[in-house]
Amino acid sequence: MNKSVTYWRLIAIGLVVLTLLILFPFFGDINVNGITGLVNNGSFLNTLQKTLLNAFVSSIILATFGFGCALILLKIPTFSLVGKNLAVLILPIILGNISIAFICKLVWGDSIMFSYLAQGNPFNKLVFLVVLNLYQFGLLFVYLFWMQLQNISVEKDNFAVANQFSFYQKLKDIYLPHSRNLWLLLTAIGFVFTFYEESKIAYLFKVSQGTNSELITNWLNRNYQTNLLVNPNYANRLAFDTSTVVLLTAIIGIIILLLVIYYVIKQSTALKYYPNQKSIEHNHSSFQKAAIFFGVTFSAVAILPLIVTLFKIRLGFNFSVLGFPLLMTFIATLAASATAIVFGIASRLGWKVTLSSFNQKSLPFFVLLFVLLLVPPIVVLITGYQWMALIGYTSLSVIYTIWIIGHVLLTLPVLGSFVLFNHFRVSILEIDYLQVYKLSTKETIWFSFFSRFKAEYLLLFIIGYSFIWNEAVLNNLFSDYIPSFVSGMKMLITGRGADYDKAFGYLFVSFALAIASVIIWRSIIEKAPNQLNTEA
């Protein structure tokens, strides 16, 4: 192993270790006796089981929806008018959980359907939650799969046309293998976010044990509040014990899920069965029309709830309140994106074979990276308090710095894996070539990464900004110093200080951010057709 490889590995490992260090107070305080007591807790086990099942099913539905719809949109060229405007599909993810819940309440809150769901059984509520997640995550997944499929090389496409491939053949031999890595990444992301779903279901349906509608985060939060009345140490201890079981379940769950997806795709693509079907190219024109119709429809679905909500908004809010957190989020996103890129480059160059794709060898690496995401939010909150007790709230500069570092580390699993996924496109041969010709570090980074992934890095920044802006734990911890969008919004739509006029102001900012992100991303696509098109 040469020195530069060791150097890259040290950077990547250092960042992962630093990230996991956040959890040090958690790991240190786990009590095995407390964990064994949970075996007899029926309400806990029932809620955990329901949450796991929901996360499993939802993440598969989300990824399947994304892939399926991307296939429908396949005939829309990236740089056509509709193709460029499909950027609007990233809009819902930028809005974030609490805004989407509030929009849903404003748009459907008074409807008979909502009333039926609210008073109905928990299954219907979870189905509705899946629909909301299809809006929030599903549309993004459609866009990411569609972009991925657009990158299929011209040679492969021509080969398929020349050999009159049926749709089934193309699906099995081209589309699925080409998008396997993205399938795994998006399923994992879908699993994490649905497993720890909290605010949408809590706000819309006021989840409770009485209606059997709680998910595990609701359960953990409720019990933590109950135990706080004894004292915080008691509450922390019980929360850590319970969270250990939840974390282990989530880790096992995500490993099983990834293995299932991996083997299903592997087996499907390995099948030698080719039914006699007509080539789809005969119907090219009608397929393209259908694709455009669905593309316009999906775009309309992404934007319609915003338009309906805008008609209901009355603005009574001082926007300057959010100026400072917007600036701080920008700084934190810059830092987080830069760290994720460094991590992505270091990992790719440090493990050129292992991290060339999602596979059995790279699975432990990704699971380790995802551990922080799989930790229950209540643990992150408590450990945040404990770290701050150690570090101290000595000055605002210290608080701001810790807030930024915290976001850099908390976003590393998602942003880092997104970068790593994109870096799969830097082939092993290319890395070998760079090493043989002894290119400098600067040249390597520039030629193989920066010059190639400009657009992806910008998308990373946009997603990162949305994550940090809508993050609920760290922002909540520091909300007395850096006003938090989520905490502020929550305070204005629930509780004694609820004030919808002010909440509309928050929502308006959320809309403006989402729309600005779409516009920026769209302008990048417009300016960089060659760059996006050449990657296969």
Question: Pick from 68, 232, 364, 529: which binds other proteins (CB under 8 A)?
Answer: 232
Nearest distance, CB of residue 206 and other proteins, angstroms: 4
Question: Pick from 10, 45, 53, 228: which binds other proteins (CB under 8 A)?
Answer: 228
Binding to other proteins (CB under 8 A): which residues in 434-493?
476, 479-480, 487, 490-491, 493
DSSP string, 168-207: HHHIIIIIHHHHHHHHHHHHHHHHHHHHT--HHHHHHH--
Among the residue ranges 89-97, 156-164, 189-197, 384-392, the one whose residues contact other proteins (CB under 8 A): 384-392
Residue pointed to by tokens 């795994």 = 184
**Residue 45 interacts with other proteins (CB under 8 A)?**
no
Q: Which of 137, 59, 60 has the alpha carbon at shortest distance from 93?
A: 137
Euclidean distance between CA atoms 221 and 239, whole angstroms: 9
Among the residue ranges 142-150, 180-188, 386-394, 525-533, the one whose residues contact other proteins (CB under 8 A): 386-394
**Residue 31 interacts with other proteins (CB under 8 A)?**
no
Binding to other proteins (CB under 8 A): which residues in 132-151?
none
Question: Pick from 33, 272, 437, 497: which binds other proteins (CB under 8 A)?
Answer: 497
Based on CB atoms, which residue is closest to other proteins, 254 or 477? 477
Question: Pick from 229, 270, 429, 436: which binds other proteins (CB under 8 A)?
Answer: 229
Euclidean distance between CA atoms 300 and 70, whole angstroms: 16
Residues whose CB falls within 8 Å of the CB of residue 360, separated by 6 or more in sequence, listed in order: 262
Over the range 322-348, which residues count as b (16 or more CB within 10 Å of their CB) and which as e? beebbebbeebbebbbebbbbbbbbbb
Question: Pick from 206, 278, 282, 284: which binds other proteins (CB under 8 A)?
Answer: 206
Euclidean distance between CA atoms 430 and 40, whole angstroms: 55
**Residue 395 interacts with other proteins (CB under 8 A)?**
yes
Nearest distance, CB of residue 245 and other proteins, angstroms: 19
Question: Pick from 24, 234, 293, 433: which binds other proteins (CB under 8 A)?
Answer: 234
Among the residue ranges 12-20, 87-95, 231-239, 433-441, the one whose residues contact other proteins (CB under 8 A): 231-239
Euclidean distance between CA atoms 367 and 20, whole angstroms: 12
Question: Pick from 393, 433, 446, 450: which binds other proteins (CB under 8 A)?
Answer: 393
Judged by DSSP in three states, 166 sits in: strand
The 8 Å CB, 24+ separation contacts for 231-236 are 236/29, 236/382, 236/386
**Residue 508 interacts with other proteins (CB under 8 A)?**
no
Based on CB atoms, which residue is closest to other proteins, 119 or 286? 119
**Residue 427 interacts with other proteins (CB under 8 A)?**
no
Residue pointed to by tokens 């930790």 = 375
Asked whether the CA dihedral 408, 410, 411, 414 is positive or negative, the reply is: positive
Between vectors from CA 260 to CA 254 and to CA 265, what angle results, nearest 5°?
A: 130
**Residue 338 interacts with other proteins (CB under 8 A)?**
no
Nearest distance, CB of residue 393 and other proteins, angstroms: 6
Total residues at interface with other proteins (CB under 8 A): 54
**Between 454-470 and 97-108, two packed helices, what is the crossing angle to 10 degrees?**
70
Interface mask toward other proteins for 303-332; x: CB under 8 A: -------------x----------x---x-
Among the residue ranges 24-32, 162-170, 348-356, 396-404, the one whose residues contact other proteins (CB under 8 A): 396-404
DSSP string, 268-283: HHH--------BGGGG
**Residue 264 interacts with other proteins (CB under 8 A)?**
no
Question: Pick from 494, 516, 519, 527: which binds other proteins (CB under 8 A)?
Answer: 494
Residue 166's beta-bridge partner residues?
Answer: 279
Phi, psi of 166 (to 5 degrees): -80, 170
Nearest distance, CB of residue 434 and other proteins, angstroms: 26
Contact between residue 247 and residue 177 where contact means Cβ atoms under 8 Å apart: no
Nearest distance, CB of residue 480 and other proteins, angstroms: 5
Euclidean distance between CA atoms 227 and 235, whole angstroms: 5
**Residue 42 interacts with other proteins (CB under 8 A)?**
no
Euclidean distance between CA atoms 347 and 10, whole angstroms: 9
**Residue 397 interacts with other proteins (CB under 8 A)?**
yes
Question: Pick from 338, 389, 512, 516: which binds other proteins (CB under 8 A)?
Answer: 389
Euclidean distance between CA atoms 73 and 146, whole angstroms: 7
Binding to other proteins (CB under 8 A): which residues in 107-126?
114-115, 118-119
Nearest distance, CB of residue 109 and other proteins, angstroms: 9
Over the range 392-409, which residues count as b (16 or more CB within 10 Å of their CB) and which as e? eeeeeeebbebbbbbbbb
List of residues contacting other proteins (CB under 8 A):
114-115, 118-119, 204-211, 221-222, 225-235, 316, 327, 331, 381-382, 385-386, 388-389, 392-393, 395-397, 400, 476, 479-480, 487, 490-491, 493-499, 501
